[in-house]
Amino acid sequence: MSFPLLTLPTELRLDIYRHLFGISLTTRLFLGLTNLPLLNEGINPLQTFEICYFPLSHPHITDYQTNTWYQVEWAQHQIYSRGLFLAILMTCKQVYNEAMPLFYSQSFFAISANINTAVSWLAGVGAQRRRHIRRLSVHFDSIPPHRPRMNWNEIQDSMQAMSEILMDVDRIDVLELLIVDNEHENYLACMAARIHLKIPWYNVLRELGKPLLLHGLEQLERLPRLGCLRIVGHPGLLLRFPEDRAYLEAFAEGKKPAGLGEENEHKPVVQVLMPEGMNSEES
């Protein structure tokens, strides 16, 4: 006896998969909440999915933040374990071949943590599934100002690891880097002030062909098929120094200022967006 789902037209089956996975233009799939394990001991945030509404235009700062008490409380009712959420992939080979690429290519994955957590999740997904990922949002790390050189190297390593693991992805339509929490803003503002004062310990962080406050961003030169690089944060802070502005302009022209990739005439779109509700005063 044939599986009833397979008797339906292909397009209808694909619509069913989209509905099952919560895929639409106004949803993102969050990989757990940063403080969810405190309320649910034993739940691994990398093994949970949360379907969240996300506006098509004019997103608010709270749309990027996933650790408010209201959201954590509400999340108790809409968290799905990875095994249950993707159970349909285990039904038969045909369903797997149809639903797996659709899930990974049409979901907008939002990782509620830093770059290292994103790398861990991407590695756990495996190369076969990872190659279909098209849209990814992660929280961008910043340098704690009391030890800039040490953390500079750590962030470079994290960004390099993420870029390398994304090399086997067919293409990245959107890679979104979030700098929207107060701690990261304060780190960057403190760094900017000390660099502006030409304090030697901080001024040596300037390197030819590389961004300054957006340190580590140059590792994305390794990606040959990046469609859009979207940086969400305060433009007045992130673009305070000419090094960062010049780097992003060159990156958008398809150049590799840091020499970490081969120029292939591909020109990614570069966006620096400030969400509504963010303090409009320059930090």
Of 210, 228, 207, the C-alpha closest to 219 is 210
Range scoring the smallest mean pLDDT among 60-74, 89-103, 198-212 = 60-74
The pLDDT tens digits of the residues spanning 128-153 come to 999 999 999 999 876 655 565 556 77
The pLDDT tens digits of the residues spanning 196-225 come to 888 777 776 788 889 988 989 999 999 999
220 or 30: which carries more pLDDT confidence? 220
**Distance in angstroms (rounded) separating the CA atoms of residues 85 and 150:** 40
Binning pLDDT at 50, 70 and 90, where does residue 46 land?
low
Average pLDDT over residues 30-44: 50
Domain boundaries, the chain: 1-112, 141-170+180-225+234-283
- Is the pLDDT at 94 greater than 90? The verdict is yes
Of 131, 196, 143, the C-alpha closest to 170 is 131
Contact 257, 250 (CB under 8 A): yes
Binning pLDDT at 50, 70 and 90, where does residue 31 land?
confident
- Is the pLDDT at 41 greater than 50? The verdict is no
**Distance in angstroms (rounded) separating the CA atoms of residues 134 and 126:** 15
pTM of the shown model? 0.87
Q: Which residue(s) pair with 108 in the sheet?
A: 135
Average pLDDT over residues 4-13: 93
